[in-house]
């Protein structure tokens, strides 16, 4: 199966991108595994003809927005993101009509249609930098209320908060963290900014998924409690074979991120199945918001090679 995928990737002049939460066998085959920011940057820079995206639908849509002349394949069309579904373009338009004019900062975990209504996008690696880069003192962040609250507590800007959330991160409880800390008293607790503020308050650092991998590599600590989707344990352990990683809760599993199998990848490449194409009237305005984020991130140095901005540092 692996050899077949490798030769199909060559035949299609395709690049395979995988999010850090994807199953190990998918990550092992990918040309690049990363967090949302790294994958967006790669999707904007590749000269491959086909982008095979192993992640969820908003990620493949973002790749199509950034590379409209390339074919983007999502091997499972039903791999979605419940948080992204918590805001539609109609709902956002209605909300904006109620508010005075202000910038819209949209988390990449959103549809292309919502991005098209936005001033600028952000990821968990650059949210604070993006918000602070704006001239305006007041803005709205969609759709993740936890990312917005965690950003609001670290800036003097007034942030209007959309009431969306990631069910996987939102359900992590203080009790889960207390138990994990009791079992591993010397471990550093790393939490994802999609977790609620009361979890971030209990954390030593709040980082994107790739930020956690780099942090663990650079840290002198040998053990870590991981407050994000459990798929991240695989790349964490791979990059740090001598260190120890413990999930903050075994319930933190995103079923959408586990849908793509090697068989799906073969089928998608063989029959060019699962194409994701964003219509031009949405692609153009969405591109402005995503490209603005990428340009600013690279300017600020929170791109591929560095840690990413921390919402909470040690």
Question: Contact positions toward ligand SF4, by CB under 6 A?
Answer: 56, 81-83, 109, 166-168, 229, 254, 256-257
Identity of the residue, 50 or 166, whose beta carbon is nearer to ligand SF4 in the bound complex: 166
Identity of the residue, 9 or 147, whose beta carbon is nearer to ligand SF4 in the bound complex: 147
Q: Which of 35, 61, 144, 176 binds ligand 13P (CB under 6 A)?
A: 35
Residue 188 and residue 207 in contact, taking contact as beta carbons nearer than 8 Å: no
111 binds ligand 13P (CB under 6 A): no
CB of 243 to ligand 13P, least distance (A): 20
Contacted by 68, from ligand 13P, ligand SF4, none: CB < 5 to 8 Å by type: none
* Element of type H or E holding 194: none
Site string (131-170) toward ligand 13P, x via CB under 6 A = -----------------------------------x----
DSSP notation for 273-297: -SB----HHHHHHHHHHHHHHHHHH
Residue 62's nearest CA partner among 10, 119, 122 is 122
CA–CA gap between residue 218 and residue 198 (Å, rounded) = 26
DSSP letter (8 states) at residue 242: T
Q: Which of 9, 26, 30, 36 binds ligand 13P (CB under 6 A)?
A: 36
Using CB under 6 A, which residues numbered 204 to 243 contact ligand 13P? 208-209
Contact partners, residue 309, CB within 8 Å, separation at least 6: 125, 126, 127, 128, 129, 300, 302
Pair of tokens at residue 268: 């998608």
DSSP notation for 121-187: EE-TTTHHHHHHH-S-SEEEEESBHHHHHHHHTTSSSEEEE--B--HHHHT--HHHHHHHHHH-TT-
129 binds ligand 13P (CB under 6 A): no
Task: Say how many residues touch ligand 13P, by CB under 6 A.
Answer: 10
Identity of the residue, 119 or 209, whose beta carbon is nearer to ligand 13P in the bound complex: 209
At what angle are helices 262-271 and 2-11 packed, to 10 degrees?
A: 30
Contacted by 208, from ligand 13P, ligand SF4, none: CB < 5 to 8 Å by type: ligand 13P
Identity of the residue, 81 or 248, whose beta carbon is nearer to ligand SF4 in the bound complex: 81
Contacted by 256, from ligand SF4, ligand 13P, none: CB < 5 to 8 Å by type: ligand SF4
Q: Which of 67, 71, 124, 283 binds ligand 13P (CB under 6 A)?
A: 124
Identity of the residue, 82 or 197, whose beta carbon is nearer to ligand SF4 in the bound complex: 82
22 binds ligand 13P (CB under 6 A): no
Contact partners, residue 217, CB within 8 Å, separation at least 6: 239, 240
CA–CA gap between residue 8 and residue 166 (Å, rounded) = 34
Identity of the residue, 165 or 283, whose beta carbon is nearer to ligand 13P in the bound complex: 165
**Contact footprint for ligand 13P (CB under 6 A):** 20, 35-36, 109, 123-124, 166, 194, 208-209
């Amino acid at each position: 199966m692996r050899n077949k995928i490798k030769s199909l990737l060559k035949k299609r002049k395709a690049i395979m991108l995988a999010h850090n939460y994807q199953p190990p066998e998918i990550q092992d085959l990918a040309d690049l595994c990363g967090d949302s920011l790294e994958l967006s940057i790669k999707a904007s820079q590749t000269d491959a003809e086909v982008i095979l995206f192993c992640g969820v639908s908003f990620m493949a849509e973002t790749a199509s927005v950034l590379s409209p002349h390339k074919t983007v394949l999502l091997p499972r069309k039903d791999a979605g993101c419940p948080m992204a579904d918590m805001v539609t373009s109609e709902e956002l338009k209605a909300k904006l009509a109620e508010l005075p004019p202000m910038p819209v900062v949209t988390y990449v975990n959103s549809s292309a249609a919502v991005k098209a209504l936005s001033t600028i996008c952000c990821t968990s690696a650059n949210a604070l930098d993006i918000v602070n880069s704006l001239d305006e003192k007041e803005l709205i962040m969609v759709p993740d209320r936890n990312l917005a609250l965690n950003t609001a507590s670290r800036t003097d800007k007034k942030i209007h908060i959309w009431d969306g959330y990631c069910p996987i991160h939102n359900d992590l409880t203080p009790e889960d963290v207390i138990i994990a800390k009791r079992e591993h008293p010397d471990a550093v607790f790393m939490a994802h900014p999609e977790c609620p503020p009361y979890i971030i308050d209990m954390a030593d650092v709040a980082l994107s998924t790739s930020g956690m991998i780099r942090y663990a590599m650079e840290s002198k600590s040998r053990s870590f409690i991981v407050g994000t989707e459990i798929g991240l344990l695989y790349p964490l352990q791979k990059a740090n074979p001598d260190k120890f990683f413990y999930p903050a809760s075994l319930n933190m599993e995103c079923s959408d991120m586990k849908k793509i199998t090697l068989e799906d990848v073969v089928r998608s490449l063989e029959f060019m199945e699962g194409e994701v194409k964003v219509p031009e009237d949405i692609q153009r305005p969405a591109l402005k918001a995503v490209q603005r984020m990428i340009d600013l991130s690279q300017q600020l140095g929170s791109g591929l090679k560095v840690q990413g901005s921390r919402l909470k540092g040690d």
